[in-house]
Amino acid sequence: MTKILGIGNALVDVLIQLENDELLSTLQLPKGSMQLVDADKSKDILNHSNELDKQMASGGSAANTIHGLAKLGVETAFIGTVGKDETGDFFHKDLVNNNITPLLIKSESPSGIANTMISIDGERTFGTFLGAAIELSAESLKNEHFDGQDVLHVEGYLVQNHDLLEAILIKAKENNLRVSIDLASYNVVEDNLPFLKEMVAKYVDIVFANEEEATAFTGYDPDKALEEIAKVCDIAVVKIGSKGSLIKQGDFVTQVAVDQIVPVDTTGAGDLYAAGFLYGLINGYDFNKCGEIGSLLAAKVISNIGAKISDENWEEIESRIEEIIA
């Protein structure tokens, strides 16, 4: 059985349902962006949203993808750093309860929290306090973490620590892993563009990007961006929202449509798309089927609040996948 290792920021999501976007202006957080905040700003977000509906769930981009893969029956593990606190315990238990092998490093710092503000139109804006998550370092990585794994999925947010990301990618290749990366956020791509391009060209096999990230990475619209990304990796995937996704390997291009639904919360859509696509890929399905499974998972996760799909929806997903691969 193919084993997939995820590495990323171990965060607990605090999901905040906004009544309007005024709070984003008050907090000076651009709608749709991921902004890193300090502990004081994180508390400020929570204080300003005190009267709004909230939920808590384990999160982080790569962890969300690994959760989706585990739910599909894939053998998975996750590397990240958490604090020795209730938030860190919550994250650890959530991995174990979902049959994910936790390879967590414990820190004296408080665990990271992703304050996820969900607008009425489903768009999400992150004010992320990385806390202990940012303490994941090149020195934390052991060869035994990678030994026996087949695929590495890493979140693009880690590009903000250049030494860490390069060490991860080098270790993955030394252990003959196939490498998948999700570009994560357009502003993170813009801020680290030369280094990110170098890392993708040197080490990455599969790139996932949405429209904004693909444009930030290449300077082009989705179709041309797909071509440019595919020049520097084996498989390029550009997600184009309600229009579906574009997939390119060599000269072969596939466009996959999606079911039209009104999103409740877009948190985790890209992460779960990656889970579905990778599941299809490791099972040898063609790109159309991989994209359809990815789109199915993305559609299910945006139909509810948070980056996790409900247990009852997983039963429906299993039957839909059987139809897709038939």
Average pLDDT by stretches of 10, the chain with 326 residues: 94 91 94 89 92 86 96 97 93 94 95 91 88 93 93 95 96 97 92 97 98 97 97 97 93 89 75 97 97 94 78 90 94
Helix ranges, the chain (H): 22-26, 39-48, 61-71, 86-97, 143-146, 162-174, 186-191, 193-203, 211-218, 222-230, 269-282, 287-301, 311-325
DSSP one-letter code for 148? T
Of 18, 71, 74, 68, nearest to 48 (Cα)? 18
pLDDT at 307: 72
Contacts of residue 79, defined as CB under 8 A and 6 or more positions apart, other chains included, come to: 5, 6, 7, 103, 104, 105, 136, 140, 141, 145
Q: Count the alpha carbons within 13 Å of 266 in the hemisphere toward its beta carbon.
A: 17
Write the DSSP string, 174-206. HTT-EEEEE---HHHHHHTHHHHHHHHHHH-SE
Q: How far apart are CA 292 and CA 322, in angstroms?
A: 12
3-state secondary structure of 291: helix
Write the DSSP string, 208-248. EEEHHHHHHHHSS-HHHHHHHHHTSSSEEEEE-GGG-EEEE
Q: How far apart are CA 226 and CA 29, in angstroms?
A: 29
User: Is 118 within 8 Å of 305 (Cβ atoms)?
Assistant: yes
Alpha carbon of 13 to those of 202, 313, 317: distances in Å? 32, 21, 24
CA dihedral (208, 285, 69, 229) in degrees, to 10, reads -10
Q: Domains in the chain, please, with CATH?
A: 3-9+60-111+132-325 (3.40.1190.20)
Q: How far apart are CA 55 and CA 1, in angstroms?
A: 35
User: Is 129 within 8 Å of 67 (Cβ atoms)?
Assistant: no
